[in-house]
Structure 1
Amino acid sequence: MFWPFNQKATKQIARIEISGAIGSGTRKAVLKALREVEERKYPALLLRIDSPGGTVGDSYEIYRALQRLQPKVQIVASYGNISASGGVYIGMGAPNIMANPGTLTGSIGVILRGNNLEKLLERVGVSFKVIKSGPYKDILSFDRQLTAPEEQILQTLIDSTYEQFVNTVAESRRLDPATVRTFADGRIFTGEQAVEFGVVDRLGSEEDARLWLAELSGLDPDKAKLQTIEERKPLLSRILQSQVSGFTTVVSAADWVQFEMSTSGQPLWLYRP
């Protein structure tokens, strides 16, 4: 459940945090939180992003929801340790962006990976009989190599999604698409470099972002506190999170593996170190 209604919401700054790989769960939680911001009439929103990106569709829907919210709410995106690829795309939904000087950002581009287990299956003597309606119905099948025509089809798909990314950055940051392409080649760069490229406005901490938001929305910086909007986690989850860091690392690694498996074969706006 979300925080109960607060009569003083109009004097507070809403805060939504996006962390980890972006998938359907992130999208649902963030869209629900954004509706909460609108319904409770917060004058300002601090969007804290600490994410390497994720799925194309989920990142796009969060970006569009932020766009729709812009006329009603002042928004500042604050980049944490990393805001790359889909994290950048979501950030384009905010008219004002701040990053730490050492924030890892960029990785503007698209990646699609599939699992090829053909040699392993041959070794263990497993094969599949496939009956399909067209030659490309089982494209990226894990039990065989891609054909040249299939590679061309997938490259066309990637190129189209890449152009969408470039054009969104260009439109949001008022840059020429050709300029965006000079640094939108998949490379990562720092927050300091991002300011030089024009994809980040200012350098600063989350507290600096809060002060900037107070200024933009005409709030008293001493009284305009952050109100984090999030779903309250079950008691068991909160207990587990309070345990030793090693356990938390194992849980995070398991979540990442699950994300990798569930998104195999999907175009991703994702930084893969």
Structure 2
Amino acid sequence: MFKKISDALKWIGSHFLGLLFILIVLMVIMPNNDGAIDNSNLQEIELKGPIISSDEILKEIEEAKNNKRIKGILFSINSPGGAVAPSIDISYAIRDLSQIKPVLAYGGDVMASGGYYSAIYASKIMANPGSIVGSIGVIMEGANIDPLLKKVGIETQIVKQGTYKEVGTMSREWTPQERKELETLTKDTYDLFVKDVTMARKLNIANIKNYADAHVYSASRAKNVGLIDLIGTKQQAKKEIEKMANVKEAKWKEKDKFDIFFDKLSSETASKISSYIFGLKAVL
């Protein structure tokens, strides 16, 4: 394992200068579209991967909201979720955007947990037939490394003020009081999640066990319980938002060429590192 990690780091190091040079050259020679006439009337905003920060996508949403030429938004999601606060930030920003112009949320491979939370206030939600949808739940976990510390002869020393200041510690097993404190926190977050889903999707709270409770659904089952409105491909999603926006001739806003290149480079680098460290990967 350590040899594979070392090989991955060596690969990054040996290619770093070359990649940096390519990026600099592209930034210099790539044409700047700022002076070109932008007559786009539709825009795609993408949410990809684990949700760690919301800064960049919130900026995109705000720009789309203020761009009077843009008549509709395709909000493409391929995310298993992530941090609570950024997921809520994105969800509420989409809510504000959908009050001004139509937003179609589209679930690709995965639209689950925080990824689904981000989508709930869109004007409509569509998912790919093979998409995984739902997982309306909250989880908090931590390791107990006390046996390992004892084995290697390490003892921790702690000075604290406040009964629950050590909640979530890894150096020992949690006390019943600490566990209860964390359970209360996760329940509060879960209740907020369920409340927003119920309100946004106009669902019956009495049927909460059907659509929440961390169930993971196929697209067809998600539609049956009311989590999504439509099932279709990405191309069908584009046609749907064209219709929702009442656009006769669709002109999609082009993503910056440098951003496209950087996204592709980041994806390929991550894939390369993953293959070095983890070896073969199963795909479907």
TM-score, L = length of structure 1: 0.82
2:43 corresponding residue in structure 1: 14
Structure 1's 248 and 234: CA in aligned 2 closer, same or farther, altered over 3 A? farther
Alignment correspondent of 2:93: 65
Secondary structure (helix, strand or coil) at the match of 1:91 reads: coil
2:177 partner SS: helix
Where do 5+ consecutive residues of structure 1 fail to align?
254-273
Q: CA contact under 8 A between 2:144 and 2:171: conserved in structure 1? A: yes
Distance 2:81 2:271 in 1: 24
From 170, 179, 197, the counterpart of 1:151:
179
Partner of 1:29: 56
The answer (yes or no) to whether the contact 1:210–1:226 under 8 Å persists in 2 is no
Matched, 1:197 2:222: no
Larger Rg: 2
- Judge conservation of contact 1:78–1:206 (CA < 8 Å) in 2: yes
Classify the secondary structure of the residue corresponding to 1:180: helix
Listed one character per residue, the Cα deviations across residues 109-160 of structure 1 (whole Å, up to 9, x for unaligned) are 0000112211111111111111111221011111011000111111111111
Q: Distance in 1 between matches of 2:180 and 2:252?
A: 49
- In structure 1, the partner of 2:272 is 247
Alignment of 1:85-164 (within 5 A): 85-164=113-192
1:38 aligns with 2:65: yes
Please say if 1:175 is aligned against 2:203: yes
Cα distance per residue 1:205-239 (max 9 Å; x no partner)? 1111111111111101xx31332557944977755
Alpha carbons of structure 1 residues 28 and 5: separation in structure 2 relative to 1, 3 Å: farther
SS at match of 1:182: helix
Partner of 1:225: 251
The structure that is strand-richer by fraction is 1
Contact 2:210 2:225 in 1 (8 A): no
Distance (whole Å) between structure 2 residues aligned to residue 92 and residue 100 of structure 1: 16
Q: Would you say how many aligned residue pairs link Structure 1 and Structure 2?
A: 247
Secondary structure of 1:227's counterpart equals: coil
Structure with the larger helix share:
2
Distance 1:72-1:183 versus aligned 2 partners, 3 A rule: closer
Moved more, 35-44 or 45-54: 35-44
- 1:153–1:66: structure 2 CA closer, same or farther, 3 Å change rule? same
Tell me the distance in 2 between the aligned counterparts of 1:236 and 1:97.
29
Q: Secondary structure at the match of 1:54?
A: coil
Across the aligned residues of Structure 1 and Structure 2, the Cα RMSD in angstroms comes to: 2.7
Instruction: Find the residue that maps to 1:34 and give its secondary structure.
Output: helix
Question: What code does the residue aligned with 2:204 have?
Answer: D
Partner of 2:16: none
CA displacement at 1:39 relative to structure 2: 2.8
Counterpart secondary structure, 2:211: coil
Structure 2 residue runs without a partner (length 5+): 1-26, 279-284
Q: Does 1:55 align with 2:80?
A: no
1:122–1:5 distance in 2 versus 1, CA, 3 Å: farther
| Structure 1 residues 54 and 163: CA distance shift in structure 2, 3 A | same
Measure the CA separation in 1 of the matches of 2:85 and 2:95.
15
Percent identity (aligned): 30
